[in-house]
Amino acid sequence: MRTGRKPTPHSIAASRPAFDSGYGDGCFYRPEFGPAPYASRVLPPPGGLTRPAMTAAQEHGWRGIEGVGIAP
Supply the pLDDT for residue 43. 84
Q: Dihedral through CA 62, CA 63, CA 69, CA 71, nearest 10?
A: 180
pLDDT band at 1 (very low <50, low <70, confident <90, very high): low
pTM for the predicted model, two decimal places: 0.37
Supply the pLDDT for residue 61. 86
**Better-predicted residue by pLDDT, 32 or 72:** 32
pLDDT in tens, 24-42: 676 777 888 888 888 788 8
Looking at residues 1-26, what average pLDDT do you find? Answer: 77
Contact 12, 31 (CB under 8 A): yes
